């Protein structure tokens, strides 16, 4: 399992809103604003990057829960930044506090849960599971 990850470890991730990140990319009748799934993806990237330096070889963290509020819209061309900070660890699961802003306002906040998995073992289990289906 991963080495000790200190509470408070942080990371940021950012992207500029492109058409592919907007509601309009899924349905042209919808407005060209940053979609909730894309904001959550950016938050998950920041959380992953915060924890990954502490994982042992062959390990990664994967998302297991999401509790997010999307509080404001951001338009095409705006730079969105997500921040992640490790809030707690219960022996198996990490809770990461996340926030997203677009330079002028907070657009989202909440928590994401993550767990450490050993990739080779995980892939093996998934292959066995697929064979059993």
Q: Is residue 4 part of a domain?
A: no
pLDDT score of 1 more than 60 = no
Q: Is residue 99 part of a domain?
A: yes
User: Which of 36, 85, 111, 118 is an active site residue?
Assistant: 36
pTM: 0.92
> Of 126, 132, 82, 124, which is closest to residue 103 (Cα–Cα)?
82
Q: Is residue 3 part of a domain?
A: no
Helices (H) and strands (E) in the chain, counts: 2, 5
Return mean pLDDT, the chain. 94
Q: Is residue 117 part of a domain?
A: yes
Domain span at 107: 10-132
Query: How many independent structural domains does the chain possess?
Result: 1
Structure tokens at 112: 């994401």
Q: Is residue 38 part of a domain?
A: yes
59 is catalytic: no
- Calpha distance 25→33 (Å, rounded): 10
Backbone angles phi, psi at 124, to 5 degrees: -60, -45
Q: Is residue 85 part of a domain?
A: yes
DSSP state of 19: G
What does the pLDDT average to over 59-64? 96
User: Which of 21, 59, 61, 70 is an active site residue?
Assistant: 70
Comparing 128 with 10, which gets the higher pLDDT? Answer: 10
At 2, is the pLDDT very low, low, confident or very high (cuts 50, 70, 90)?
low
Backbone angles phi, psi at 120, to 5 degrees: -60, -40
4 is catalytic: no
pLDDT score of 129 more than 60 = yes
Backbone angles phi, psi at 95, to 5 degrees: -110, 125
- Calpha distance 49→41 (Å, rounded): 12
pLDDT score of 30 more than 60 = yes
69 is catalytic: no
CATH of the domain at 122: 3.10.129.10
pLDDT in tens, 76-128: 899 999 999 999 999 889 999 999 999 999 999 999 999 999 999 989 998 99
């Amino acid at each position: 399992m991963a080495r000790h990850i200190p509470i408070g470890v942080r990371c940021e991730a950012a992207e500029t809103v492109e058409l592919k990140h907007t509601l309009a990319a899924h349905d042209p009748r919808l407005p060209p604003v940053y979609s909730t799934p894309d904001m959550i993806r950016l938050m998950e990237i920041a959380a992953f990057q915060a924890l990954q330096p502490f994982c042992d070889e062959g390990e990664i963290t994967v998302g297991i829960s999401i509790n997010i509020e999307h509080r404001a819209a951001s338009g095409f061309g705006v730079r969105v930044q997500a921040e992640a900070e490790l809030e707690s660890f219960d022996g198996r699961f990490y809770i990461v506090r996340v926030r997203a802003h677009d330079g002028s306002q907070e657009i989202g906040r909440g928590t994401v849960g993550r767990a450490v998995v050993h990739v080779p073992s995980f892939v093996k289990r998934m292959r066995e599971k697929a064979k059993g289906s």
